């Protein structure tokens, strides 16, 4: 049996090839006089795209998980009741032949309609929000470590060896002394007076 003879498992499937500036959308050939359309990635254009898909009786859409560009179209489609099918872009690259964006969206639409694409897991909206916050927090923690290293380097270049005396220069004593240095204080006696009483190092 030829590939084209496979039964349609998703008769109302569409395909989207996503780019940073434009997205190419293909619907079944019998749904519109122009079954392939190009939309910009602005919110207004994504809304227009979703309404067009609904008017073409599309219920599910296959798209590649390219960077973070897929997130706005994914959310807009869900808001309009269209089920997105997020597929791994690496699997599509294994398909032989060179294709333009125009052909890519049609290829996605066909593969999705015959059930040859596997959707990636995407949790519910609330879980996605929490996951995004946790990832952002991890990024901030990593950046914090880098900035602390920058502080250590700057202190060493000034030969202020405070980070060899106290274990954490981002604690109460360390930040108080660093802030005072930033404000222009250069007297070591005055800086030592900023020591927190609970710190182990002596004044």
CATH number where 60 lies: 3.30.420.10
Structurally, the chain folds into a number of domains equal to: 2
Predicted TM-score (pTM) of the model is 0.64
The answer as to whether 185 is a domain residue is yes
Cα angle at 106 between 86 and 24, to 5 degrees? Answer: 70
Average pLDDT, the chain: 86
**Rounded to whole angstroms, how far apart are CA atoms 36 and 24?**
7
**Rounded to whole angstroms, how far apart are CA atoms 39 and 165?**
60
- The string of pLDDT tens digits covering residues 28-71 is 999 999 999 999 999 999 999 999 999 999 999 999 877 788 98
Name the residue range of residue 86's domain: 3-121
**Does residue 196 register a pLDDT over 70?**
yes
- The string of pLDDT tens digits covering residues 128-151 is 788 888 989 999 888 988 898 998
94, 121, 148 - which closes a domain? 121
Q: Is the domain of 183 the same as that of 98?
A: no
Q: Is the domain of 90 the same as that of 48?
A: yes
Q: Is the domain of 19 the same as that of 78?
A: yes
């Amino acid at each position: 049996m030829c590939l084209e003879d496979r039964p349609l498992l998703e008769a109302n499937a569409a395909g989207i090839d996503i780019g940073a500036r434009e997205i190419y959308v293909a619907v079944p050939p019998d749904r519109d006089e122009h079954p392939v359309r190009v939309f910009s990635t602005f919110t207004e254009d994504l809304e227009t795209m979703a309404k067009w898909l609904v008017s073409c009786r599309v219920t599910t859409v296959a798209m590649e998980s390219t960077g973070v560009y897929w997130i706005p179209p994914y959310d807009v489609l869900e808001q309009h009741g269209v089920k997105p099918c997020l597929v791994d872009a690496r699997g599509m690259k294994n398909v032989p032949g060179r294709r333009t964006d125009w052909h890519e969206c049609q290829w996605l639409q066909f593969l999705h309609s015959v059930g040859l694409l596997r959707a990636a897991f995407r949790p519910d909206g609330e879980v996605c929000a929490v996951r995004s916050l946790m990832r952002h927090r991890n990024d901030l923690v990593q950046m914090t470590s880098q900035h602390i290293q920058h502080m250590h380097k700057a202190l060493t270049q000034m030969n202020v060896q405070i980070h060899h005396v106290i274990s954490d220069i981002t604690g109460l004593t360390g930040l108080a002394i660093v802030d005072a240095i930033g404000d222009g204080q250069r007297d070591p006696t005055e800086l030592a007076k900023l020591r927190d009483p609970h710190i182990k190092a002596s004044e």
